[in-house]
Amino acid sequence: MNYSTISNLDEFNDILEKEDAVLIYFSHEQCNVCKVLKPKVAKLLEENFPKMKMYYADTVLSPEIAGQNKIFSVPAVLSFFGGKETVRKSRNIGINELKEQIARPYNMIFG
């Protein structure tokens, strides 16, 4: 699955304004767990939530995005539907649990 990198707060706010369903993956290059989890999250969206777009935000390179979203540990995943945060997971992220939590709002919008 393709995902884009968000590099500043204006870009982040723009995405939330324009997209119906977005998942933001917060991480940084020194996080080994994050590197293993990111493709699993991307595959989850590709297989189960094809209308949801995934974006990556590096908490080291773009600390203002992390600060605005109160991200204090990585990996962290935030999903937004209609510009509103609906799911927030960090550190120990289970793919099945994430799938269940995204499914309800996703199906309400795209069902």
Provide the residue ranges of all domains of the chain, joining segments of one domain with +.
4-110
Instruction: Record the pTM.
Output: 0.94
Q: Which residues contact 31 (CB under 8 A, 6 or more apart)?
A: 74, 75
Distances (CA, A) of 89 to 10, 71, 97, 110: 23, 10, 10, 22
Q: pLDDT class for 1, splitting at 50, 70, 90?
A: low
CATH topology of domain 4-110: Glutaredoxin (3.40.30)
Q: Tell me: the pLDDT tens digits for 41-96?
A: 999 999 999 999 999 999 999 999 999 999 999 999 999 999 999 999 998 899 99
Q: Which single residue is written with the structure tokens 């094809």?
A: 50
